Structure 1
């Protein structure tokens, strides 16, 4: 019987690696451990690790160098805002508002339509921004109601 990975394991791995980047364990410009090493550390399948690393790439924290590996983004050599997709800039703006207390625990975030209007983007771009916040663990989705700031977000 095939081994099953716990639901949401990629989100945990994403959070751990993000924390290591933030606290300097993985310095800017340094190469991340290989996928195989991360698989062994977290006892998960390679696709789970790849999903976590893809989320970090989408956030602009990690850069892929094909044939070489993944590296921690170094803002001194390449500004993230110039290379990031628009939805990540929107997600970063909303994240700052959450961290600054503009949106507190349990608050309803703007809808996709409101984000479209506010930032002048497509519905798909607005949706991707909200999904990025969900993937980061800051927001929870209540189907039919909207997206809310999670109650258990550490401050």
Structure 2
């Protein structure tokens, strides 16, 4: 895990404050599997009995403001790279059926609070965050190409709102 990134650090703080067992991944140790590099994930999380997650944290601002001269607010940004999807799928295969690969979208909350995702925001170093999770299987089922040039995919906003759930709803 890149501890210098506030999104991952905020998520780790969230887990720690709720006494959710987890193991952070040291991204400085590159893993070679089957002769090719697999993109690292960020955490192994154990939110409930018989529940094990392989987590890749994706930090986004909520809303994200585009600087196109009009300062347009974009909500529910959830794009990931093709490598993110492939890497998580590879790890899912390595860990087996006892683990579930998931993206956790760590949203740095800004703008009007009535537009924020549901759930209680998590305070970390003076900022507020919301953590939503979606299974890799659901993400793959609904994603579409966002950019061929950048190798990214995304899930349409309304669909994402249906398949993403607050991390706290899984942490008893």
User: What band does the TM-score fall into relative to the shorter chain?
Assistant: under 0.3
Question: Whose strand fraction is larger, Structure 1's or Structure 2's?
Answer: 2
Q: TM-score, normalised by structure 2?
A: 0.25
Question: Whose helix fraction is larger, Structure 1's or Structure 2's?
Answer: 1
